[in-house]
Amino acid sequence: MGEEAQFYGNAEVYWRDVPPTVDGMLGGYGSISNIDLNGSKAFLKKFTGEGEGKTGTSCALDCGAGIGRITKRLLLPLFRTVDLVDVTQEFLDQAKTYLGEESQRVGHYFCTGLQDFVPEQGRYDVIWIQWVIGHLTDEHLVKFLERCRSALRPGGIVVIKDNVAYEGVVPDEVDSSVCRDLAIVRSLVAKAGLRIVHQEQQMDFPKEIYQVHTLALR
């Protein structure tokens, strides 16, 4: 098996053994979910609403959605329809239960890795990519962001919210991912032809975890 195939294969094996719960999705840090979602809500509300340059609220995509933690608390309250994409079928099956009645407003459940996922052109107002870019190689991340750019509706945005390393690239052998520093993330975003229109650091997370930054891209 090639190095790249192993990188993706090992991640799939890791997530297959993770329980389909909020705590599982957050690597044992389920307690930070509310802080995370409140920060995301405040960030997203800067873009949605009426008026020129604002982002519409008809359809959003949740990338690396897991059981739908972000879909349930952030995206479904703001958007008419939400699509979920995740590499683990068990998580998507659980999402139908976890989302309850609101699951009726889910358009599609896509079970695939983001390196292979092609979002429908011009479908999404917001593409939310949280805690998952570390599972893509640099090349695949650039290509995926290019596809995301084509999948946006007029005024739409791509949002990346993820861990940021202090310097360089830090590999994580446990879940087969990497954590990149902000300069590297910015350069990959630029390579994909997107620009950063707003950026914030998520505050009030435990000291022992990586800094988390949120970037809005157009």
- pLDDT tens track for 127-163: 999 999 999 999 999 999 999 999 999 999 999 999 9
> Cα(166)–Cα(160) distance, rounded to whole angstroms?
17
> Cα(168)–Cα(178) distance, rounded to whole angstroms?
10
pLDDT at 73 over 80: yes
Query: Rounded to the nearest 5 degrees, what angle is found at the Cα of 209, between the Cα atoms of 115 and 189?
Result: 35
Structure tokens at 52: 């020129």
180 CB-near residues (< 8 Å, 6+ apart) = 133, 134, 164, 165, 168, 169, 188
- Predicted confidence at residue 214, as pLDDT, reads 98
Report the percent of the chain where pLDDT is more than 90.
97
- Predicted confidence at residue 51, as pLDDT, reads 82
CB atoms closer than 10 angstroms to residue 164: 18
Angle between the 138-151 and 182-191 helix axes, to the nearest 10 degrees? 50
pLDDT at 1 over 80: no
Average of pLDDT values for 195-215? 97
